[in-house]
Amino acid sequence: MKRSRINEILAEGDAFIRSFGQILPPFAYWSADEMRSDVARPLRDRGLGWDITDYGQGRFDELGLFLFTTRNGRAEDLDQGRGMLYAEKIMITRQDQLSPMHRHVIKAEDIINRGGGDLIIELFAPDAEGGIDRTAAVEVPCDGILRRFEAGARLRLAPGESVTLMPGIWHAFWAEKGDCLVGEVSTVNDDHTDNVFEMPIGRFSDVEEDAAPTHLLVSDY
């Protein structure tokens, strides 16, 4: 992706978030130099901040996601079973923009429709080797109530609704009826090691530096 396009997406995303009465934390607006400073080291170490991805495919409008990580613990916390064991993200999935089929090795997550269009989540259970089981039913809690779906079912979350996805559950998602503001509350998040994709794609974008960054991405750290 071109850096100039990333800068545009950051501005559009911030405006979309504010349209729902939510405001990002102060460090969201730090300059690139401020984010490179020693003061920002704890933010960089925990992967907090802006994250725009086209999964390395160069088709953001079709295959992509906007994310901002507001808080995150450390893998060491999980290993010890104490400390900051959680993470939180704000995401925007645009209408018909696919976040491709994937699962997590460790992370459990609540995916919450915070407003806008409907969030569609396609679901599969894992097979014995961790791959996709295209025949088995899949069970997931929706707002605390366990629900059972056929393989490949498309769960529709209206604004205010949520689903809990445990490690191993395969899922892809996109928005219908308009762009969707999405919340994610999870265990500690490590996007470098904890994402397993069905397709041979990358988690982060390749950036063409045609302009100075308005703000750094977590992949710039």
pLDDT given at position 129: 94
Tokens, residue 22: 């939510």
Grouping H, G, I as helix, E, B as strand and the rest as coil, residue 220 is helix
CA pair distance 14, 28, nearest whole angstrom: 9
CB 188 within 8 A of CB 78: yes
pLDDT given at position 207: 95
Give alpha helix (H) positions in 62-212. Answer: 75-80
pLDDT given at position 18: 98
Per-residue pLDDT of the chain (221 residues; tens, 9 = 90+): 999 999 999 999 999 999 999 999 999 999 999 999 999 999 999 999 999 999 999 999 999 999 999 999 998 988 899 999 999 999 999 999 999 999 999 999 999 999 999 999 999 999 999 999 999 999 999 999 999 999 999 999 999 999 999 999 999 999 999 999 999 999 999 999 999 999 999 899 999 999 999 999 999 99
List, in sequence order, every residue forming a beta bridge with 176; answer none if it has no partner.
Answer: 118
Residue 164's nearest CA partner among 139, 182, 189, 188 is: 139
CB 113 within 8 A of CB 178: no
Instruction: Name 108's Cβ contacts closer than 8 Å, sequence gap at least 6.
Output: 164, 165, 166, 167, 186, 187
Domains of the chain: 3-220 (2.60.120.10)
pLDDT given at position 143: 97
Degrees, nearest 5: CA angle 174-180-185: 85
Q: Label residue 49 left, alpha or beta by phi (over 0 means left) and psi (-120 to 50 means alpha).
A: left
Neighbour-count burial of 150, counting CB atoms closer than 10 A to its CB (0-12 exposed, 13-18 middle, 19+ buried): exposed
CB 215 within 8 A of CB 32: yes
Cα 123 → chain centroid: 16
pLDDT given at position 67: 98
Q: Can you give the pTM of this predicted structure?
A: 0.95
pLDDT given at position 88: 98
